[in-house]
Amino acid sequence: MQRYFVPVDNWEDNKVSIGKDDAHHINRVMRLQPGDEIICNHPDGKAARCSILVSEPDRIQAEIDEWLKESVELPVNVTIAQGLPKSDKFELVLQKGTELGASGFIPVQADRSVVVWDKKKAEKKLIRYTKIIKEASEQSHRNKKPQIHSLMSVKELVRESSTYDIKIFAYEEEAKSEVYRSFGSIVNDMKLGDNVLVYIGPEGGVSDDEVHLLKENGFVAVRLGPRILRTETAPLYVLASISYQFEELGCR
């Protein structure tokens, strides 16, 4: 059943009203009629099975049949802070990261990012990224849409990180040292509801200054398996592993 995110103001008693873009999708793409069913996601994470009552080109009104008892949200809140990569790789991270259960994304202007965003570009990008996240959330049947933050420097990320319970960053050099804390042991220590911040450097990796700053502020360096992952593959490894541990292995 198709799923739509509906803003909080569009819910009233047992009725839901769906605006222009999604109405277009319901009418033209899904070709749904009055009486057909959809799932509407409330911004607070709940979801309801609804029947279409009124179908107009710009507006759909639906009735709530049943609130669903389901949770497909990762039991820890994982925010991916990604050093700006080249071309459209950040879009891949957003789409796949949303499918894999991320809570949020922070684009980071890192020392070794080849790409530089000015303010105007950043604003334009954020609109596009919000759309990618919304569509991926609906497609993967998420109850909550991940949040996309504004562009930060690594310094700003470190300031932001004070509200997180667990902070890690991918650092391939770490795997070469004899004593290091394994990613597995860190995930094992995560508790339900923990806020986890994961920093992944861009293609060129993490600069020495950044390593120093991150370590000084409680970020733990981890390797993600023994192979060298591309920058856009690393966050997917982190999210799949945490999902596997909590949702499939049943270690909670």
Task: Examine residue 227 and tell whether it contacts its own copies (CB under 8 A).
Answer: yes
Nearer to its own copies among residue 62 and residue 222 (C-beta): 222
**Residues numbered 108-147 forming contacts with its own copies, rule: CB under 8 A:** 139-142
How far apart are alpha carbons 105 and 117 in whole angstroms?
A: 16
229 binds its own copies (CB under 8 A): yes
Residue from 32, 84, 196, 236 touching its own copies (CB under 8 A): that is 236
Only segment of 8-16, 96-104, 118-126, 156-164 that touches its own copies (CB under 8 A): 96-104
Length of the chain: 252
- Does the protein bind its own copies through residue 243 (CB under 8 A)? yes
Q: Please tell me whether residue 169 binds its own copies under the rule CB under 8 A.
A: no
Q: Provide the minimum distance between the beta carbon of 229 and its own copies in the complex, in angstroms, as a whole number.
A: 5
Cα(25)–Cα(18) distance, integer angstroms? 11
Selected from 166, 187, 196, 214, the binder of its own copies by CB under 8 A is 187
Q: How far apart are CA 56 and CA 221, in angstroms?
A: 54
DSSP-derived 3-state class of residue 33 = coil
By CB under 8 A, residue 188 contacts its own copies: yes
Q: How far is the CB of 95 from its own copies (least distance, A)?
A: 8
Among 83, 101, 201, 202, binds its own copies (CB under 8 A): 101
Only one residue has tokens 């049947």, namely: 141
What does the buried/exposed string (b/e) look like for 59-85 if buried means 16 or more CB atoms within 10 Å of the residue's CB?
ebbbebeeeeeeeeebbbbbbbbbbbb
From the list 170, 187, 177, 186, the residue with the least C-alpha distance to 110 is 170
Q: Check residue 86 for interaction with its own copies (CB under 8 A).
A: no
**Max CA separation in the chain (angstroms):** 65
From 1, 29, 114, 249, residue interacting with its own copies (rule: CB under 8 A): 249
Q: Judged by CB under 8 A, does residue 220 bind its own copies?
A: no
DSSP character at residue 231: T
* Cα(36)–Cα(51) distance, integer angstroms: 6
Residues that bind its own copies (CB under 8 A): 71-72, 92, 96, 99-101, 139-142, 182-184, 187-188, 223-230, 233, 236-237, 240-241, 243-245, 247-250
